[in-house]
Structure 1
Amino acid sequence: MVIRVRQSQMVEHSNAVIIRRGYEAFASADSSALMSLITEDAVWHSPGNNLLSGDYQGVVAILGYFAKFATLSQGKFQVTVQDVFANDNRAVVLTRDTATRNGRTLSWEGGVIFQLQTGRLQEAWAFNLNQSLVDAFWS
């Protein structure tokens, strides 16, 4: 799994730094680092109608959701963080995701809206700009 994180030249909000740290931990499969960034009762909402869709409640379920990407793509899932916008309570990440599955490769635009509580993920809403294409790929 590979995640490319483009570094900003400006001083970023502390929540943007935390989000980038989370994507780096995801890329390196550092579950300890990820756990430290997620509240125990956090919820992750994954859109669509596919093998990844649904609501994941709690840090263990969310880490399991992340592991599904590696499993379903045979380790060939990549996220490139394009932009991170943040304030004291929220962050928005725009990404380009690429995965290979069953001999097919797909690249798509998407992102996540994060609700943060004292620097930790409380709730997340993932989105894909072409959900029907993503659904067909992960189904």
Structure 2
Amino acid sequence: MLIESGGDPILKHPNLEIIDRFFEAYIQRDWNELRKVLSLDARWSFPGKHPYGGWRNGSEEVIQFFDTMGSVMGKSNVKAEKLIVAANDDYVIESQHVFTNRDDGTNLDHLVCVLWKFAEGKIVEGIHFFANPVEADSFFTKISQKNLE
């Protein structure tokens, strides 16, 4: 598959295509396709002491995490600017500037990286890193409390 960068075609790394397939299957709730790109033993880490923080173990918990975060962030009017993406045979790293615009004024403006790990053509692990983990933890703690109200 080819993508363009500044008008010049470049090859898209296969692991980036796996991520694309993951999100397409996730959005469509295509469980057969999800099993092709997400390991049954996948693990996912999201930092923080808030209810969304911690490790998710197994593909079902990973999907539940994405469902939860989709619900939470869907209410936050998220904007994301992709800063850089790099890939090799085992990893993809994405760096983004993410900011929210919530009606209640509880907002976050930060840099985040996601490290994706691959084995045998599948996603086996994901780890989020925040430039300011204290600020992110505060945001997600407040959001979790508001979701209980």
Stretches of structure 2 that go unaligned for 5 or more consecutive residues are 142-149
Structure-1 separation of matches of 2:98 and 2:35:
22
Paired residue for 1:31? 29
When you count helix as a share of all residues, which structure comes out higher? 2
Higher alpha-carbon Rg = 2
The one of 110, 113, 118 equivalent to 2:112 is 110
> Aligned pair in 2 of structure 1 residues 99, 119: CA closer, same or farther (>3 Å)?
farther
Shift of 1:46: 1.1
Stretches of structure 1 that go unaligned for 5 or more consecutive residues are 1-6
Where relative contact order (Cα < 8 A, 6+ residues apart) is larger, the structure is 1
When you count strand as a share of all residues, which structure comes out higher? 1
Shift of 1:129: 0.8
SS in 1 for 2:48: coil
Letter in 2 for 1:25: E
Paired residue for 1:50? 50
Shift of 1:125: 1.3
Structure-2 separation of matches of 1:50 and 1:102:
21
TM-score (norm 2): 0.73
Paired residue for 1:88? 89
Structure-2 separation of matches of 1:68 and 1:130:
22
SS in 1 for 2:27: coil
1:1-139 correspondence to structure 2 within 5 Å: 9=5, 10-22=10-22, 24-25=23-24, 29-32=27-30, 33-76=33-76, 77-100=78-101, 103=104, 104-139=106-141
Letter in 2 for 1:64: Q
When the two chains are superposed, the root-mean-square deviation of aligned CA atoms in Å is 2.5
